[in-house]
Structure 1
Amino acid sequence: MENKGISIAKKIIPYLIGLLAGLYLVVLVTGSLMGLSQYKLDLPEHFTPIIKDLALHPIKHYLTYLQDKNPLTIILSIAIVLYLAYFALKRSKKNSNWETADTDTHGSATWGSARDLLTQYFKISPKDLSDNFNNGLNQDTIKSLQEKRDN
């Protein structure tokens, strides 16, 4: 039971870290744009203190933006949650594709039947196979090897 809890925590922790980092960026973007709208042309003078305050107190600002129903904060927060949910589902689907049944398989591969082999892999006739093989060989190399063998 304890191992299962640890394995679940190991799977969830990266997404929680991603969520926190994403929400932190939401605070920085929202605060920066709000500072831009408030100070307009005087922004260069005020930008450093704004970013510093946003970076040091992200939870306070995030909660304030949510209480004020700031649309940018809400939209970006939803986008981050959906983004992380998409990758979490994609990862779980990818992992389930590699699970095997109680058959002689590895991953998603299955053993082919004789019919599968004949229809998929042996579409070329034996004569064409022989001709392709002989045409693929460098005849000068073959002759030199035969001469070395005979000497």
Structure 2
Amino acid sequence: MNGSFDESWASTPAVRRSMQSNRSRDTKPELLLRRALHGRGLRYRVCANPLPDLRMKADIVFRPARVAVEVRGCFWHGCPEHYRKPSSNSDYWSAKVARNVARDEKNSKALAAAGWLLISVWEHEDPDEMAAVVAAAVSSRRRRTLR
């Protein structure tokens, strides 16, 4: 694609500009969760591959504990509570979200098969509550590896 609107997937130039400005990392929900985790004394990798052969970068990775965290947007990942079908270009976006959901499930299974725990945090969830969930999982899995 050379950047012209005629070849774009977007329904209008304004939609295209808006979609291009969406961040893939360092989103507000992700930063809030990272701040809460850091405040609990946890250290982690950001936007890292948990497994070298898996085409996936998790938002937050605790390698020794084998815990990966993904902060998922309600629209992009088809949140069961908040996703609503788009009114414009709905065939394209519905198919895109369905592919994202299928990819998320595939990645979750691949991580589990390799001994990893994937924690999905939805953007609407409280960052402090989710930091407690992540911290408990990391602590539990670290204790298990020390035995």
The two structures have a TM-score, normalised by structure 1, of 0.27
The structure where strand makes up a greater share of residues is 2
The structure where helix makes up a greater share of residues is 1
The two structures have a TM-score, normalised by structure 2, of 0.27
